[in-house]
Structures are given as structure tokens and as C-alpha cells.
């Protein structure tokens, strides 16, 4: 039985990866930060009784800023594979916490690599480092001849998050070459799911659309509607993470769909899932969206109702307008083919958030009934 260690196991990618590895028969260890609140919602369905000898998922308290703690966990677990998914991954927030993101996303990677080296596990342990498309910075002159970013495209990070991740990328590559470690970078373009954090733009959109359709929210405020991203499903991307560590040779890989979509079009697709078409007016910070038609009788929205406005506070100090990746190497060398297209991704997210918001409505109704009975 193989043993895997996942940092960031309570996040979107960590939860899907844990599911995948458990299905494949792994013993899975996860590192989670200590919190006074429960933050294991995404993996609660996997984590049953820790005293059950058949339980193949074990959690450890740890932090990427604590090298001694990481070293102790790695020594105890003796993993065959490490997936470093833990990070402060919100680009906009990284401008507010640049030192913290550098410590976690940059030096945190070094701490894992150095722990594996010092513990004498370089022959045993394979390492996957979660890199990011933010390395490229959206610089048009750095695309390949086909107009995409690939494994050979130059980097030009445009945020503290991207700068921290570029350190993680190069230190992983350096340890691979200096110590002959099986250490790989997966340069992931945007990947979403129903488990995406609520502050990320795609999940913010699908949650807001569900609330607007159900009458729980008036409208949604967004930033740059013209920004273009290469969006895939997290389930497809974590499958590729696993495939990367099964390859004969340690290399770096782009994980992307090769298709780009604007934030505005993602909004249109999300509203279309509940039978609502939109009319956009204005440009830049003055752009707004209004209900053009509502074909679903379950959702009663007035034609002409304003459902979207632009809030300049959501713009980044340095904006990345376009990111699109070339997954040719992953497809040709490892046979990776995504199972979800963008339409399937939006459907999955909207279906989940509609169910979630309806559950909230039911809880509110139940609470009102209790109050009435008490009166």
C-alpha cells in the first residue's frame, strides 16, 4: 500500500485528491492548520472514526511556516508521495499580506524539500509542487507560437502570490537537479468546482446567482469583467497531479484546458443555468447587467432588474487580463484528457449552489416555525 502526504488537504484540491488516492488504495495523511473552528467540511465524508484500524485517512496538525513540525510529520509518515497543495492562494489578498504569502507559498516549499533531503528520503519520496498560471503574468509576448503559455514560456509574475510561487517553482526544480530528487511542478491554470472557496470569482458568481434566483440577494458586485481565464474542473486537475508522480521521469507540466473565457461570459453561463438571460450596459466601472428574460417559472425575476454591478475595489493593483495554457505535453506524454468542459463545470457548480441555498431557506423556515410555536 502506497502512502501519500497532502498539505492543504482541507482545500478544494486536497479534498478531491484525497478521494482519488483513497479510491486507488493509498494510505492518505493530511496536514491541516489548527483552528478554533471546524474547517474539514470538504473531507468530513472521508474521515470517519480515527480509532478504526481500517481508516486510511489520518490528519496531522501542521503549518508550512513551521519547519520542525513539517520534518517531524514527514519522518513519522515516511510518504511515498508528497503533494504540496497548501498555500495562501488568493491573488488579490496577497497584495495585502505579501510577507505572509512569501513565507507560506515560497519558503513553505523549501521546508518540505529540505525535510525530505535531511531525512534521507530522496530515493523513496516523490514530490508534487502545486505551481500556478500566475507565474506567466499574462504577458502576451511570452506566449508560444500558437498563442498559449506552455512549459517553456518565460515567467513574469504580477502579484506577491505569483512571485512567491515562482520561488516555489525554481526551488523545486533546483532540488531535483542538485539532489536527483523526484520533484515536479504542476503549473495549474484556473480550476474550479462546487468546493471552490467562496471568495474566488467563479464560486462567488455561482453562489450569488443561486441567491438572486431564489430571492436571497439583490445583485452581485464583481471586478474586471473583461479578464479572461482558462477554467477547468478541479477533479480533472487532481487526476493529472497523480499522473505526474506516476511518470517515469520527474518533469514540470502545464495543466490547462486551452480554452479561455471572460468573467462576463462565465456570469452569463451561470445565469443561463437558472433560465435567466442578461443584458449588459455600460463599460468599465460603469458596466451593469439586467435581466433580459426569465424562462424558468421556478424563479420569478422581473425583466429589467439590475443583477450585477462593477466594484472598482475588486480590481488588482497589477491586473492579469488573459491566461490560457497549452496542455499538449500532458495529453501527448501522459494521455491526460479532461472529462469536464466549461459548460459541465458551470452546471456542476450551479446545481450544487442551488441545492445549498435551498437548504438554507429550509433551515430559515424551520427556525421561524420554532419561533412561532414558542410564541
> Residue 142 in 3-state DSSP?
helix
Active-site entry in 26, 161, 299, 340: 161
CA angle at residue 160 from 242 to 8, to 5 degrees?
35
Task: Return d(Cα 82, Cα 8) in angstroms, integer.
Answer: 11
State how far the Cα of 242 lies from the Cα of 253, in Å rounded to an integer: 12
Q: 32 forms bridges with which residues in the sheet? A: 61
Q: What angle do CA 240, 246, 249 make, to 5 degrees?
A: 110
Q: Mention every residue, 6+ apart, whose C-beta is less than 8 A from residue 267.
A: 205, 209, 220, 222, 225, 278, 289, 308
198 among known catalytic residues: no
- Running DSSP on this structure, what letter comes out for residue 314? G
Dihedral class, residue 102 (left if φ above 0, else alpha if ψ from -120 to 50, else beta): alpha
Phi, psi (5° rounding) for residue 19?
-55, -50
C-alpha cell of residue 29 = 495523511
What residues contact 27, with CB distance under 8 A and at least 6 apart? 1, 2, 3, 4, 56, 58
Orientation angle between helical segments 160-179 and 108-118, nearest 10 degrees: 20
Q: Which of 109, 132, 172, 206 is catalytic?
A: 132
Does the annotation mark 161 as catalytic? Answer: yes
d(CA 348, CA 34): 31
Catalytic hit among 19, 81, 134, 192: 134
Q: Which residues are catalytic?
A: 132, 134, 161
Amino acid at each position: 500500500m502506497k502512502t501519500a502526504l497532502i498539505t492543504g488537504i482541507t482545500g478544494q484540491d486536497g479534498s478531491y485528491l484525497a478521494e482519488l488516492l483513497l479510491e486507488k488504495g493509498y494510505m492518505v495523511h493530511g496536514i491541516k492548520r489548527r483552528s478554533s473552528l471546524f474547517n474539514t467540511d470538504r473531507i468530513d465524508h472521508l474521515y470517519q472514526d480515527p480509532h478504526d484500524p481500517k481508516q486510511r485517512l489520518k490528519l496531522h496538525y501542521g503549518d508550512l511556516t513551521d519547519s520542525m513540525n513539517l520534518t517531524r510529520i514527514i519522518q513519522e509518515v515516511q510518504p511515498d508521495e508528497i503533494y504540496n497543495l497548501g498555500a495562501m492562494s488568493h491573488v488579490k489578498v496577497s497584495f495585502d499580506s505579501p510577507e505572509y504569502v512569501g513565507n507560506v507559498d515560497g519558503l513553505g516549499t523549501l521546508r518540505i524539500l529540505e525535510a525530505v533531503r535531511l531525512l534521507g528520503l530522496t530515493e523513496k519520496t516523490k514530490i508534487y509542487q502545486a505551481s500556478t498560471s500566475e507565474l506567466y503574468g499574462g504577458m502576451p509576448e511570452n506566449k508560444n507560437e500558437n498563442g498559449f503559455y506552455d512549459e517553456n514560456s518565460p515567467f513574469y509574475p504580477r502579484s506577491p502570490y505569483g512571485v512567491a510561487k515562482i520561488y516555489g517553482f525554481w526551488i523545486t526544480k533546483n532540488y531535483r537537479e542538485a539532489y536527483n530528487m523526484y520533484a515536479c511542478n504542476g503549473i495549474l491554470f484556473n480550476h474550479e468546482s462546487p468546493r471552490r472557496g467562496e471568495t474566488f470569482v467563479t464560486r462567488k458568481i455561482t453562489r450569488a446567482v443561486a441567491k438572486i434566483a431564489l430571492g436571497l440577494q439583490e445583485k452581485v458586485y464583481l471586478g474586471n469583467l473583461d479578464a479572461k481565464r482558462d477554467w477547468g474542473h478541479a477533479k480533472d486537475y487532481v487526476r493529472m497531479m497523480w499522473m505526474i508522480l506516476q511518470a517515469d521521469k520527474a518533469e514540470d507540466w502545464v495543466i490547462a484546458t486551452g480554452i479561455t473565457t471572460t468573467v462576463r461570459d462565465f456570469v452569463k453561463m451561470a445565469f443561463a443555468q437558472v433560465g435567466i438571460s442578461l443584458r449588459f450596459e455600460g463599460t468599465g466601472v460603469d458596466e451593469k447587467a439586467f435581466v433580459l428574460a426569465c424562462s424558468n417559472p421556478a424563479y420569478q425575476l422581473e425583466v429589467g432588474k439590475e443583477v450585477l454591478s462593477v466594484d472598482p475595489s475588486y480590481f488588482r493593483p497589477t491586473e492579469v487580463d488573459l491566461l490560457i495554457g497549452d496542455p499538449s505535453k500532458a495529453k501527448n506524454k501522459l494521455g491526460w484528457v479532461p472529462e469536464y468542459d466549461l459548460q459541465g463545470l458551470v452546471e456542476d457548480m450551479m446545481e450544487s449552489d442551488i441545492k445549498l441555498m435551498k437548504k438554507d431557506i429550509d433551515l430559515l423556515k424551520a427556525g421561524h416555525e420554532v419561533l412561532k410555536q414558542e410564541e
